[in-house]
Chains A and B, each alone.
Chain A
């Protein structure tokens, strides 16, 4: 029984008592360490295998691919910078980038403001608060595809519920998804609607972490609700805002699913985004090398944007959690 006691427990005591490591069973200590090493690497084996096949190899191979003409079937060959040059000369690529940019600029700030606003309301002590919280959360857990189909129906120009209500109120019908000027806004609205519950939960957690004493002190000093919001709440949740800002931009540049379902990039390519461009080249035209090059360009763009964010926006983040 006693022989099983792990050595690292006994060892310090032995040294304390005798001043030197007397009678330390070197062999046992060594085997302890070897055992941990073997078991440790064994436990990490699935992770390593996955990382090698699905993370490390793809990253490197993608770069190789981007300098080649690589149809799924047929001859493949090295073409140098040709893919990149073709991409930068393609108006459709720039249109995709522009549309993704439009989406990002509209979605990220609106989504953050709406989430914070709703979270503030849901952070009050009123009756039925759990009921509200559950309700606001529901769109987030449902399948984006299913609810995108539902919203396509709601946004239908002739038979959609939204236009039905508008006409009852005496307004003109709007081509929510069929008018090139409006379609992107409808997509943005949908994305906010779907993501709201998730963001609200995160903001609620942040709001509940703000020490109550700060508000009490501010009240004594005569601060109104706006001053409290501006000088306490906003700075205290700024790490969360910053997190959402960065993640929002990264996600928005790659927006795809809701657009694929709701408009397919139309009408008149007004919602055609850059991820769709990559998808089309990879899985419709089977130009894997070209698509890989688009992927790399997008990744570099995301990386640069994130760096700028860290530098510029990161400064105004208040990390001192009282």
Chain B
């Protein structure tokens, strides 16, 4: 009898868990489904009191129209170019710095390390205006430089890579050097290949951050040609404030690359977040 009631309670508990998770999941996912179906509707289907989930016939033309109203192709290329450049440069700079801070011995090393960690405490509110002025003086406003260079440094990335590099036995360095490898050879041929998981996690988080970044591109770009996709969508929304079908088409195109990337590299995303979440 008692055994039975325990089993029943377990089943009920599981059902309740499923139910709550399902309701939550609906809230998490429905906006995306609604985004996609709306992007395929006629505009009058949006402005009707009897809302339907699916369009009568899917209007693929919405995507063509959205891309014609604003140069989303160009936004796409800009975003991809900037994001990839930032990832490559950031990983290079972080790896070099982390290599120096973990494998080499030289005066001032630890002070530099704590200095780099300390920069994480600098509040963004202070940096916004003067960083903009620096770019202005460099003549970089409205260029790719302004979008890329300010993002290539990642203090936390340096910290993570340094911790990761330190788990690789130093004896391997010595062995490699005996075999005639240079210091940079050690980094490039040995440490980097061994650190692929950490590099992938940091790189993915950076890529995601860049692809989605909004405020900085909004501030440092003026011309249509330099806009990234997030700025493009924001401008599009201001211009065509009621063209929901086109806006949803634009949002869908902005969202899909990251979703694809996510489904192929979920593990690294989760790792990246778990790593960055341990900041505290």
Contact = CB atoms under 8 A, between A and B. Distances in A.
A183 interface: no
B155 to A, nearest CB: 9
B159 interface: no
B247 interface: yes
B258 A142 contact: yes
Contacts of A124: 14, 17
Interface in A131-154: 132, 134-139, 141-147, 149-154
Interface in B135-186: 136, 149-150, 152-153, 158, 174, 177-178, 180, 183-184
Interface stretch (B26-34, B61-69, B195-203): B26-34
A292 interface: yes
B279 interface: yes
A65 B24 contact: no
A299 B123 CA distance: 6
A143 B31 contact: no
Contacts of B280: 239-240, 242-243, 246-247
A198 interface: yes
Contacts of A316: none
Nearest to B158: A47
Contacts, number: 257
B28 A149 contact: no
A36 B104 contact: yes
Contacts of A292: 126, 129-130
B105 interface: yes
A282 B132 contact: yes
B130 A275 contact: no
Interface string A25-63: 000000001011101110110110011011101110110
Interface string B88-112: 0000110011011100111101001
B176 to A, nearest CB: 11
A87 interface: no
B162 to A, nearest CB: 12
Contacts of B254: 143, 145-146
Interface in B202-253: 208, 211-212, 214-215, 219, 229-230, 233-234, 237, 244, 247-248, 250-251
A229 interface: no
B125 interface: yes
Contact of B277 (A43, A201, A260): A201
A283 B129 CA distance: 9
B35 A118 contact: no
B247 A143 contact: no
Contacts of B109: 40
B51 interface: yes
Nearest to A282: B129
Contacts of B273: 198, 201-202
- Which has the most chain A C-beta neighbours within 10 Å: B51, B119, B128, B214? B128
B31 A50 contact: no
A277 to B, nearest CB: 11
A242 B99 CA distance: 32
19 contacts: A59-B130, A72-B136, A121-B20, A137-B269, A139-B28, A142-B32, A143-B233, A149-B247, A150-B34, A193-B27, A201-B273, A201-B277, A205-B274, A242-B280, A243-B279, A247-B280, A254-B124, A282-B128, A292-B129
Interface of A: 1, 4-6, 9, 33, 35-37, 39-41, 43-44, 46-47, 50-51, 53-55, 57-59, 61-62, 65, 72, 118, 121-122, 124, 126, 132, 134-139, 141-147, 149-154, 156, 159, 161, 164, 193, 196-198, 201-202, 205, 239-240, 242-243, 246-247, 250, 254, 256-257, 260-261, 275, 278, 282-283, 288, 291-292, 294-296, 298-299, 302-303
Interface of B: 14, 17-18, 20-21, 24-25, 27-32, 34-35, 38, 46-47, 51, 92-93, 96-97, 99-101, 104-107, 109, 112, 115-116, 119, 122-134, 136, 149-150, 152-153, 158, 174, 177-178, 180, 183-184, 208, 211-212, 214-215, 219, 229-230, 233-234, 237, 244, 247-248, 250-251, 254-255, 258-259, 262, 266, 269-270, 273-274, 277-280
Given A124-B14, A201-B273, 4 more contacts: A33-B106, A46-B92, A126-B14, A278-B128
